[in-house]
């Protein structure tokens, strides 16, 4: 039903920027909310950012560890969500996952569809 394909990960240095992309396909009502999570080795999956269209307003939410450095955006024509990551730190190193749901949530369980993940590594 819904497919999510991430791209844009890589190896960067501290302070660099990187932009992740997630192309979504499938019924639009299942991808009203699109989010990014990340998971580092040995750690739980962590909420990074999400957005959802609520009537005419776009709701955006960010995790506390990335607020002010990361920006989530969406190209509705391409049904693609982006995560612009600036001022990257070694602690941002993780596998980044795109997720989709009918409603915005801060929880892993709130999302029904997941991409395969893209690795981001920030060297010090």
How confident is the model over 28-45, as a mean pLDDT? Answer: 94
pLDDT band at 56, cuts 50/70/90? confident
Percent of the chain with pLDDT over 70: 100
Is residue 120 predicted with pLDDT exceeding 80?
Answer: yes
Q: What is the reported pLDDT for 21?
A: 98
Q: What is the 3-state secondary structure (H, E, C) of 55-92?
A: CCEEEEEECCCCECCEEEEEECCCCEEEEEECCCCHHH
Q: What is the reported pLDDT for 55?
A: 78
Q: What is the reported pLDDT for 31?
A: 87
CA 13 from centroid of its chain's CA atoms? 20
Is residue 54 predicted with pLDDT exceeding 80?
Answer: no
């Amino acid at each position: 039903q819904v497919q999510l394909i991430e791209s844009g990960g890589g190896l960067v240095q501290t302070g660099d920027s990187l932009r992740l992309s997630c192309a979504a396909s499938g019924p639009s009502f299942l991808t009203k909310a699109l989010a990014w999570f990340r998971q580092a080795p040995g750690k739980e999956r962590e909420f990074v950012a999400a957005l959802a269209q609520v009537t005419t307003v776009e709701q955006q939410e960010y995790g506390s560890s990335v607020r002010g450095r990361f920006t989530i955006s969406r190209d509705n024509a391409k049904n693609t969500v982006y995560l612009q990551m600036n001022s990257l730190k070694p602690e941002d190193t993780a596998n980044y996952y795109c997720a989709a749901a009918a409603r915005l949530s801060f929880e892993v369980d709130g999302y029904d569809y997941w991409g395969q993940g893209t690795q981001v590594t920030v060297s010090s």
